[in-house]
Chain A
Amino acid sequence: MEIKVLGPGCPKCQIAEKNVRDAVSEAGVDATVIKVTDTMEIAKHGVFGTPAVVIDNEVKSVGKIPGKEEIKTWIKK
């Protein structure tokens, strides 16, 4: 599983990334977490704003910080 956190580096983006990493760790799933800061790369996902979370190329959240429990529902098989 590949999880991307889209965001140039603001505090909200950092919290989103931490929540994703914590959720992955707590859920015990095999996932690679990638922080994407390049605006052109972010634009390729067609999101209206950041932070955004993308799991296996499907955008799950845009413009808000998803909580750990919500993230777990996305990553648990």
Chain B
Amino acid sequence: MAEGCCTKNRNIMILACSGGSNVGQLANRVAVELTQEGIGKMFCLAGIGGHLSGFVQSARDVPQMVAVDGCSVGCAKAILEHAEIPIKDYLVLTDLGMEKNKNFDLKADEIQKVKDAVKEVCGPKQPFSPITEMDSSGCCH
């Protein structure tokens, strides 16, 4: 949803597969934490999957986006392709050496490892900094 006023260009859209495995939920957890830290803003992949125009158009128009899949099945990637949304930055957690299983007790070191990987894959294109530059009315300029 829109928060405050105009979208900041450096507001990175984060899309996590949020699937039913440890790596799916790790992707989800990382998306939540990076949002809380102001690195980017988690967005609703299900809305894109449902082809709801607000979600699809938002993903098409956003300047920077990172999609995070837990495993090589690539559900997030497939959803974006199905909605004809260009895939920008992309990460698969099993490619980081993580094993896919059904243990949902996510470990802090794994969460941190994925957060670092997401930041790295987003690259130096834009500096990471909290999204705080708004005036007293909550609007950017």
Contacts and interface: CB of A to CB of B under 8 A. Distances in A.
Contacts of A64: 7, 61
B121 interface: no
Interface size class of B (residues with CB under 8 A): 20 to 34
Contacts of B3: 39
Interface size class of A (residues with CB under 8 A): 20 to 34
A4 to B, nearest CB: 11
Contacts of B86: none
Contacts of A59: 53-54, 56-58
Contacts of A10: 5-6, 137, 139-141
A18 interface: no
Nearest to B1: A43
Contacts of B1: 39, 42-43, 46-47
B54 A8 contact: no
Contacts, number: 101
B73 interface: no
Contact of A46 (B55, B61, B63): B55
B11 interface: yes
B5 A48 contact: no
A20 interface: no
Residue from B44, B55, B61 with most neighbouring chain A CB atoms (10 Å): B61
A61 B57 contact: yes
A46 B5 contact: no
B38 interface: no
Given A13-B5, A47-B1, A47-B2, A63 B62 contact: yes
Nearest to B5: A10
B77 interface: no
Interface of A: 6-13, 39, 42-43, 45-52, 54, 57-64
Q: Which 7 pairs, one residue from A and one from B, show the smallest C-beta to C-beta distance?
A: A49-B7, A46-B54, A63-B7, A43-B1, A48-B58, A10-B139, A10-B5
